Structure 1
Amino acid sequence: MRSIHRAASSVLFTCLVLAGCSPTSPGSPNAGTSGSGSPSAGPSGAAGAGRPIAVGAGPQRTYTVEKQPAAGSCHYRYLKGEPLEDPACTPGAVSPAVTQANLKSTICRKGGYTSGIRPSTSVTGREKRLNAASYGFTGSMRDAEYDHLISLQLGGDPNDYRNLWVEPADPGHKKGSGVNNAKDPVETKLHTAVCKGTVTLAAAQKAIAADWTTALSRLGLG
């Protein structure tokens, strides 16, 4: 059965990238399947379409460089100048290791969780360059963040390509001064709300995957 899924994923990738078609077979990453399938620029992201968010592989002892969507196939959106991901390329993916039932021992424990599951820079550095090509990003890589759409502190998958994108700097950002964006404080406020029990883990994940700029207001957090 596993080999069938791998074969279907390979056919899907060839179809999407080379032929430009849009199948919606169960093996498609955008159909909300578990695991990390082949990159594609298919239908709108799972969360945005009201479908379950994809589940990634979760934390690994050793990470490998993930394939990224085809160069130039992803397109930034902007809301009041703030950069948003392309939901077809970056719909988000969650880690199976984090659940509502184990928050205290995972993302809500004091220290150590996110640092212990991050892929090494030798992996993410290569992925970042590939993803920059996917999005057609031509700015300074120093000013761009290779961002987890659903952050690690909200149970986002550490290295699923569906959960990572090269996030440009905010408008007005001084070039060459390093990463600085408005998404990070949103992630922290959502994390605090989840750990306090104000909102559920699933609600926070869905809100930030749909639109990080409106996630707090959607959940009545500001």
Structure 2
Amino acid sequence: MSQLSRFAVPAIMVAGSLCLVMPAAHATTVTRATAPAASCSQSYLPLPDPACTPGATNPDVTQATIGSTICVSGWTATVRPPTSYTNALKKQGIADYGYSDTNMSDYEEDHFLPLEVGGAPRDPKNLWPEPHAGNENSRSKDSVENAVKKAVCAKKATLSAAQHALLTDWTTAESVLGIS
């Protein structure tokens, strides 16, 4: 299955012999039988391949709405997709990225542009299987996301500057924004 399958909009999700009917806007086809070689490059790690995972914004989060969205404690829990949705993407993404370790618990299906700064919750262009391994990984990215969100909510950085810094290179976002 090519990387393109992560962006398909079919009406049925197929995982093994289980079929789940999903809204077409959120469905993804997942099969393993015909998966070819990796279609996404690992050479960008700890960042995702920009051709496969360019990131996407949540249109409900703007500079004008941060006070009623990302700056409200617990808001991300209201938009975070369930694992029943993200696990199918994670499984396909592990294949797309050609990871030799296919243990799903060794990855976080991560929002490249974090929900904390207005990343799109369900858009496959914003979700990828980020490894837990390595020095700059899914766990270290979480602290950066929180620091950047704090800076946006404290008006030490604009939402657009924060989003740009994280999408360019989350490992340097704090220093680029002058909040480290």
TM-score past 0.5 threshold: yes
- Show structure 1 runs of 4+ deviating over 2 A: 36-39, 61-68
State whether structure 2 residue 169 is matched by structure 1 residue 211: yes
- Once the two structures are superposed, the pairs formed by residues 1-222 of structure 1 within 5 Å of their partners are 64-66=26-28, 72-77=38-43, 83-111=46-74, 113-139=75-101, 140-171=103-134, 181-222=139-180
Aligned to 1:97, what secondary structure does the other structure show?
coil
Could you say if the C-alpha distance between residues 147 and 71 of structure 1 is closer, same or farther in structure 2, counting changes exceeding 3 Å? farther
Query: Could you tell me the percent identity over the aligned residues?
Result: 44
Q: Distance in 2 between matches of 1:67 and 1:200?
A: 37
User: Under a length normalisation based on structure 1, what TM-score does the superposition of the two structures give?
Assistant: 0.64
- The number of equivalent residue pairs is 159
State the 1:169 CA deviation.
1.6
Backbone CA RMSD of aligned residues:
2.9
Deviations 1:10-33 (A, max 9, x none): xxxx9x96xxxxxxxxxxxxxxxx
Q: Secondary structure at the match of 2:109?
A: strand
| Contact 2:89/2:128 (8 A) holds in 1 | no
When normalised by structure 2's length, the TM-score is 0.77
| Structure 1, unaligned runs of 5 or more | 1-13, 18-35, 40-60, 174-178
Indicate if the aligned counterparts of 1:84 and 1:211 stay in contact, CA closer than 8 A. Answer: yes
Gaps of 5+ in 2: 10-22, 31-35
**1: CA distance between counterparts of 2:24 and 2:110?**
20
Taking a change above 3 Å as real, the CA distance of residues 158 and 180 of structure 1, as seen in their structure-2 partners, is closer
Separation of aligned partners in 2, 1:161 and 1:134: 13
Aligned-pair CA distance for 1:138: 2.8
What's the offset of the Cα at 1:108? 0.3
Task: State the distance in 1 between where 2:62 and 2:105 align.
Answer: 34
Provide the C-alpha distance between the structure 1 equivalents of 2:117 and 2:179, rounded to a whole number of angstroms.
15
